[in-house]
Structure 1
């Protein structure tokens, strides 16, 4: 049986793909530079998500205002795991924290926030498992941009195509989705993130 909490992602030996949705001016500048540059904001938290379908749910398949361009950002696994290791959960889970006050103290100081959200199907239905999203604060965004990013790809045309067929043929849609598999983590880091094997 699948775990309630597990990271599913498109990854290889060196890198992992995370997804983000932006307005055209931010996406175009990032694609041209192959990293985030102005008008991208370095002063606010940015959220990265390895689940393609969760971002589709969040952005309404690239149709929400300010989220019409879907980017696949390939980053190093070393950077991804550094972010996870510096993160704290967005809620005071008893399995991880000794008390609510311990959680609050750690959460306030953390450069990275870790949130679990209900995973979604291609039609937006809630699934019986969770999907991770990772919030990078301004303390660590420069490192993400300058050191972790390997490449940025525009998935907007694919997303528009998939959105057009998703109500007609779920089999055809499934064949076109990014392949995501369970991402392995060291035992202690997995425990901190509520992942148990």
Structure 2
């Protein structure tokens, strides 16, 4: 009998290496250009929202067409900083949103978004960022491929985002199911 392997309802998944975790930040062209040049961001006067899911970042940016979110940047963070963020309620907001497929249809499991405020923003811009890459062309290529019914090609451009290993206390704190 066929059994479908179900993705846990709330599981942290991200592109990652032994030392970094990739998040995505959508921003205006001016902010993106400055961030790419300096390899960090200026401290904003608002909450900074980071998506761990490439597909969720594409959705929130409207595939790079939403005003003020025309560019999507991949930001590689040091793991220690990322884990600090997950364990510091207050300056860090945790939100679970429905994961999206490439057409932005909600799926039956959730992806994590991290909102940074106050002290957390300072750590983010001054300490945690290891590199910043513009992935807007990939977001737009996927959108173009989908518009021409080339899902098989679009899927190949989506980054691999395996589960991120969490401690039991962090799982509980962020209400992850796995």
Specify the SS of the correspondent of 1:190. Answer: helix
Aligned mates of 2:120, 2:168 — CA distance in 1: 24
Q: Please tell me the root mean square deviation across aligned C-alpha atoms, in Å.
A: 1.1
So what's the TM-score if we normalise by structure 1? 0.84
Q: Would you identify which runs of 4 or more consecutive aligned residues in structure 1 move more than 4 Å?
A: none
Aligned mates of 1:196, 1:133 — CA distance in 2: 15
Aligned mates of 2:57, 2:140 — CA distance in 1: 14
Aligned mates of 2:88, 2:10 — CA distance in 1: 18
Alignment of 1:30-41 (within 5 A): 30-37=35-42, 41=44
Retained in 1: the 8 A contact 2:49–2:116? yes
Aligned mates of 1:179, 1:122 — CA distance in 2: 14
Aligned mates of 2:165, 2:113 — CA distance in 1: 16
Residue 48 (structure 1) aligned with residue 56 (structure 2): no
* Alignment match, 2:29: 24
Aligned mates of 1:166, 1:79 — CA distance in 2: 35
Structure 1: where are the runs of 5+ without partners? 88-109
Aligned mates of 2:153, 2:96 — CA distance in 1: 28
Q: CA deviation at 1:27?
A: 0.5
For these two proteins, the number of residue pairs brought into alignment is 172
* Alignment match, 1:183: 164
Q: Which has the larger radius of gyration?
A: 1
Q: 2:17 aligns with which of 3, 12, 20?
A: 12
* Alignment match, 2:71: 69
Alignment of 1:135-146 (within 5 A): 135-146=115-126
Structure 2: where are the runs of 5+ without partners? 1-5
